[in-house]
Structure 1
């Protein structure tokens, strides 16, 4: 008698089919795939997709709800603009079956370490530069000069909500779930006369240690960088220990209430985008749920932008110094080289840089980079 190892292939197949539970398992797999395909199908009505999502996640739900915790960074605290805007997400999440808890952190680094250690926080809403350690693709949106205006970022947000982009948004540990604007990163100076990129030579400049692109920009312009975490960066500048600072618009809110010198001014020219990005643990946000969240972030893009504009609208017009043509030329000449250098070093994602270039060329097709691309 021949050993079972030498049974014909069709006999082995017959034995596998006959094993108890195999057909049931196959049916479950097919059902899961069908439901997931429905959730990812943007041509279906949203209600039908959400119904499929709830069925997919039913095994993880408690009382018909999926419990998740989002940790939010807001330098102002629970009453700050970011935390206030995030409260709206609690109600919206109920629509697709998620029971959301919001925890607010004023210390960004503490929140990041809490998330990375899996002690709490299924997802964190964090600055794009800080999110780089979790998803290089999305974090590259904050590269100097990559997306010059909000309309560029808004078009990118539409692209990010497409299921075809999901492979770039997810890795084995973490998944990027969307972004919102918190304005731009800009140059601040201790006087109007200094509010220029061309004034940095030999001068001290505060920059957050996570903002690698802007650290390189200061180095390129022969400034002396002083790096720390974001709160310490703001404090160093407001305490007049440095003459300049490069930081997000939202930093002005942290500098408000008399904590800035009377002569402090900001350069009106954006140096790069400033965003908050939602990063989750991949095992807590399967593809269907991640996709719905990304689309939800796109839906809310304009409302978050309006809230930001309302906050920044309180800044006196006299605070901003208009850039000179020399400032604009300095940024344009150096930003691309910094992006290319950091791309070659593996810090910036080449796919995002290429996508950003295509978006820039959509708005300014006559630029030389559109005819002779290097990104």
Structure 2
């Protein structure tokens, strides 16, 4: 009888301790953009992030959004304390990390990983750039390189792009200006309708990561004659953007480190798996000469967009340094235009 009473008291104390710990946690709202919703890869990765954050005293209430614009507005309106949105969409809140997704600036996944490592390093020259006004970037993960998906494989060089229509994100000035620069007709779209416009042939071309081939059924828009231009136009990222006054002290530092060390490679594996769905004959290969020409064209466009204030000059300089560290033979490495 005495033992039974002791056990009851012990269990009650344990329960009280668990309840007290839960109430001691800072409760925050985490809004996650995932075009697939709660069954999507991004949402699942953020669930693991939520579990790890409990150990840091933060208890996230998660919500999934299939419309990125709503997730963005919930963050800026104060209904979300942290949001997982694309770097392109987040550029309006932080031009430094938002410029990571700039056209042609990150040519491959090795370069992207190096950038992410630098941003998570808490370098005193870098970290201040991660905060802008009330917002702070507290983690970055890859969403995949973006390519041109076309409905006709004869669209295989810059000259062939002229006169073609392309779906571009209405909130990304760079996409529209770049399209116009090469003679394409930009059709203002958003994340909810760009794939539909391509699939029902309202536009000739769209710009998307490889995951969209299966998830958004872009193969329908490509039909039997279409393809994917084998040139990396940019690297898309998912970025955790927080209202920094809501975060406990040192949580942002922990978050950036955790996202790079525990989430980044898993997100990259998801990106890599998406390529397995694409037949080799779907790729439109381009010559080395054309590749060098595109590199130069993209660089000129980035310089113009940076001068216009669309891209962040400090990020452009960092990305150039990383490109040249990985490949010192690049023509731009003997100059300092970016």
| TM-score normalised to structure 1 length | 0.79
2:92 to 133, 142, 145: 133
1:333 to 274, 296, 305: 296
Q: Measure how far apart 1:192 and its partner are.
A: 2.0
Q: Measure how far apart 1:258 and its partner are.
A: 6.6
Alignment partner of 1:367 is 2:330 = yes
- What corresponds to 2:230 in structure 1? 268
Please show how residues 34-113 of structure 1 align to structure 2 within 5 Å: 63-113=23-73
Check whether the contact 1:187–1:195 (CA below 8 A) recurs between aligned residues.
Answer: no
Q: Measure how far apart 1:255 and its partner are.
A: 2.6
Q: Measure how far apart 1:337 and its partner are.
A: 1.2
Check whether the contact 2:199–2:218 (CA below 8 A) recurs between aligned residues.
Answer: no
1:358 and 1:257 mapped to 2: Cα distance? 35
Change in Cα spacing, 1:150 to 1:102, as seen in structure 2 (3 Å) is: same
1:157 and 1:351 mapped to 2: Cα distance? 15
Please show how residues 295-306 of structure 1 align to structure 2 within 5 Å: 295-299=257-261, 300-306=263-269
- What corresponds to 1:285 in structure 2? 247
User: In structure 1, the residue corresponding to 2:305 is in which secondary structure?
Assistant: helix
Which whole-Å deviations, capped at 9, do the CAs of 1:103-151 have from their partners, x for residues lacking one? 1100111111111111x21111111110011100001011111111111
Which whole-Å deviations, capped at 9, do the CAs of 1:253-281 have from their partners, x for residues lacking one? 33328743333321122111111111111
2:105 and 2:271 mapped to 1: Cα distance? 21
1:180 to 132, 141, 144: 141
2:282 and 2:335 mapped to 1: Cα distance? 38
Alignment partner of 1:160 is 2:122 = no
Q: Measure how far apart 1:287 and its partner are.
A: 5.6
User: Which ranges of structure 2 fall in alignment gaps of 5 or more residues?
Assistant: 1-20
1:204 to 165, 178, 181: 165
Check whether the contact 1:137–1:169 (CA below 8 A) recurs between aligned residues.
Answer: yes
Please show how residues 304-343 of structure 1 align to structure 2 within 5 Å: 304-343=267-306
Q: Measure how far apart 1:170 and its partner are.
A: 0.4
Check whether the contact 2:195–2:218 (CA below 8 A) recurs between aligned residues.
Answer: no
Q: Measure how far apart 1:338 and its partner are.
A: 1.2
Which whole-Å deviations, capped at 9, do the CAs of 1:327-346 have from their partners, x for residues lacking one? 41342121111111111111
Which whole-Å deviations, capped at 9, do the CAs of 1:200-225 have from their partners, x for residues lacking one? 11111111123332322211111111
Q: Measure how far apart 1:234 and its partner are.
A: 1.4
1:362 and 1:197 mapped to 2: Cα distance? 28
User: Which ranges of structure 1 fall in alignment gaps of 5 or more residues?
Assistant: 1-60
Check whether the contact 1:175–1:285 (CA below 8 A) recurs between aligned residues.
Answer: no
1:168 and 1:138 mapped to 2: Cα distance? 8
| Consecutive aligned runs of 4 or more in structure 1 exceeding 4 Å deviation | none
| TM-score normalised to structure 2 length | 0.87
Q: Measure how far apart 1:62 and its partner are.
A: 5.4
- How many residue pairs are counted as aligned between the two chains? 314
Instruction: Give 1 or 2 for the bigger CA radius of gyration.
Output: 1
Check whether the contact 2:210–2:274 (CA below 8 A) recurs between aligned residues.
Answer: no
Which whole-Å deviations, capped at 9, do the CAs of 1:155-201 have from their partners, x for residues lacking one? 11111012222210002211111211111111010022224444211
User: In structure 2, the residue corresponding to 1:206 is in which secondary structure?
Assistant: strand
- What corresponds to 2:307 in structure 1? 344
Check whether the contact 1:185–1:248 (CA below 8 A) recurs between aligned residues.
Answer: yes
User: In structure 2, the residue corresponding to 1:194 is in which secondary structure?
Assistant: coil
1:142 to 101, 105, 124: 101
Q: Measure how far apart 1:374 and its partner are.
A: 1.0
Change in Cα spacing, 1:368 to 1:123, as seen in structure 2 (3 Å) is: same
2:83 to 112, 115, 124: 124
